[in-house]
Amino acid sequence: MKRLASCTLVVAALVSAFSSCASDDGANVRGTSCGASSGSGSASGSGSGAGSGSCASSGSGISNQGSTDNVKVNEAVAAYDQWVRDQIDGLLEKTKVFTDAVRANDVAAAKAAFAPSRENWEAIEPIAGLVPDIDGAVDSRVDDFASVNDPKFTGWHRLEYLLWEKGTTDGGTPFADELDAELMKLKTEFAKVKLTPIAVAQGSAELIEEVSEGKITGEEDRYSHTDLWDFAANVAGAEKAFELLKPAVNAADADLAADLESDFDDIDAALAKYEEGEGYQSYEALSKADKGDMQAILGSLSENLAKVPGVLKLG
C-alpha cells in the first residue's frame, strides 16, 4: 500500500456524488488526514458531499478534480475508466479464489492464489485509493502497525504473514471474509466515482512511485517475495494509462511521448527476464545489476510521467 497521505485544499471537488478523502496510513489513522479541509473524511469513510470544499485528494495522493476540453484526453479517460471497472471485476474474481482457499484451509492453494489475486489491485491501486479506507484495510503492511498482533493489521499482507511465516491458514477466515467484503465495497463505491483526466495522469505516475518506493526494495511482499508480480502489475496499470493518453501527449510534446514509450519498453524488457509460469520469479532472484537498471528506468519514467499533467494542461 501507499503510505503517502496528502491533502490538497481545493474549492470544489468535481467528483460526482463522491468526494474521496482518505488517509491510507493504516486503519489506525483512517479518515484523519483530510479533516483540516472541511471536516470530511469521517471514520466511516463516507466522506463529505461533492462540491463542499472538501479534500479532493485521495489516499493515494492523487486528485480527482477538474476537466479539460481536450478531446483526445477525454477519450483516454473514458477508456481508462472502463478498463478500471474491468480490473475491479477481475479483482473480485481472483481474490475469491484466494480467500476460498484460506477458508478451505488449503495452504498450498492459498499460497498459489496470493500473488495472482493482487494483480488487478496493483494495476489500479492509486485509482482504487479514490475510494477512502479500502487501501488501509486490504493492503497495509506490518510497518503501519506497532506489531503483527495489532487487530487492525488486516488484508492481504496479514494473510501473507499467516501463510508464509506461520505456514497456516488458522485464524485466517475472518481476514479472508473482510478482504472480500472490502473489495466488494470498492466495487459499489467506485460505481459512484467518475474519473477525471488529472486522476488518470497522476495515477499513472503514482503507480511508478509505488514501484520505486516499495517493490524494488522487496518490502511489499516481504514474506512471500512475490514483489515482482506487484511490480509488473503497477507498471501495466501505468502503461495502460499512458497508452491511452499517448495521442494527447504526442500532440502536446512529441519528445516526451517518445521518451515515455522507450522507458516503458525498457522496463517491460527488464521485467521480462524474470517471467516464470503465469507470473514472476521470487524477488530474491533479482540481481543487483538488474535492480540498478530498473532503478534508473523507473527514475526516468517518474521524471517523465511527472510532466504529463502539466504538458496536457491539467490541474
Partner 1 sequence: MGLSRRRFLVSSAGASAAALVAGCSNGDGGGKAVATGDTVVASPRYLPFHGIHQTGITSPVPASGLIAALDVVRADRSDLARMLRDLTDEIDGMMAGRAYPATDPRLPALQTGTLGEKPPPTDLSVVVSVGASMFDERFGLGSRKPRELVTMPFMANDKLDPDRSHGDLLLTITADSPDATIFALRQLLRRTRGHLVLRWMVDGFNRRSAPKPGQAQVRNLLGFKDGTANLDASEEGLMDEHVWVGDEDGEPAWALGGSYHVVRIIRMFVERWDRTSLTEQEAVIGREKYTGAPLDGRVETDVPDYDDDPKGKRTPLVAHIRLANPRTRATRKNLILRRGLSYSRGFDGNGNLDQGLAFACFQRSLEDGFMAVQRRLDGEPLEEYIQPQGGGFFFALPGVNRRDGWLGEQLLA
- CA nearest 311: which of 116, 72, 99? 72
AA letter at 273 = K
Q: What single DSSP character describes residue 287?
A: -
- If the CB atoms of residues 73 and 91 are measured against partner 1, the closer one turns out to be 73
Nearest alpha carbon to residue 49 among 192, 146, 255, 202: 192
Whether 17 and 46 have beta carbons less than 8 Å apart is answered as no
* Least distance CB 310 / partner 1 (angstroms): 3
Query: In the bound complex, what is the minimum distance in angstroms from residue 192's beta carbon to partner 1?
Result: 28
The residue (of 112 and 251) whose beta carbon lies closer to partner 1 is: 251
CA-CA distance, 73 to 81, in Å (whole number)? 12
159 versus 205: smaller Cβ distance to partner 1: 205
- Residue with Cβ nearer partner 1 (237 or 309): 309
Instruction: Rank residues 100 and 293 by Cβ distance to partner 1 and give the closer one.
Output: 293
Residue 42 or 302 with smaller CB distance to partner 1: 302
List CB contacts of 101: < 8 A, sequence separation 6 or more.
109, 110, 112, 113, 169
Q: What is the binding site for partner 1 (CB under 8 A)?
A: 263, 266, 292-293, 295-297, 299-300, 302-303, 306-307, 309-311, 313-315
Q: Measured between alpha carbons, how far is 27 from 17 in angstroms, rounded to an integer?
A: 24
- Interatomic CA distance for residues 177 and 132, integer angstroms: 19
CB of residue 217 to partner 1, shortest distance in Å: 14
What distances in angstroms separate CA 310 from CA 72, 250, 285, 313, one per listed residue? 15, 13, 38, 5
Closest CA to 286 of 237, 220, 203, 204: 220
